[in-house]
């Protein structure tokens, strides 16, 4: 398990990096295959802001 330089990579080893890459690619494939409606960026941001505001109170 070769160690990676923390200045160059956020992963501790090449195995960790490869495992993350597999996981990330699977998540992207899953999202692209999702038949649900797309949500506009502005709506997502508004939902997140509302959720964060509700947690502050």
Question: What's the confidence (pLDDT) of residue 39?
Answer: 93
Q: Report helix, strand or coil for 13.
A: strand
**Domain map of the chain by residue range?**
14-56
Q: Mean pLDDT for each consecutive 10-residue tract of the chain (57 residues)?
A: 73 90 97 93 97 91
Q: Which residues are 13's β-sheet partners?
A: 3
Question: What's the confidence (pLDDT) of residue 6?
Answer: 67
Alpha carbon distance 16, 10 (integer Å): 10
Q: What are the tokens at 49?
A: 């802001």
Alpha carbon distance 36, 30 (integer Å): 11
pTM score above 0.75: no
- CA-wise closest residue to 17 among 30, 2, 28, 7: 2
Question: What's the confidence (pLDDT) of residue 26?
Answer: 98
Question: What's the confidence (pLDDT) of residue 44?
Answer: 97
């Amino acid at each position: 398990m070769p160690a990676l330089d923390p200045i160059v990579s956020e992963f501790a080893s090449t195995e960790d990096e490869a495992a993350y890459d597999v996981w990330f690619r699977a998540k992207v494939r899953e999202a692209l295959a999702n038949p649900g409606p797309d949500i506009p960026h502005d709506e997502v941001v508004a939902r997140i802001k509302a959720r964060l505001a509700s947690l502050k109170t």
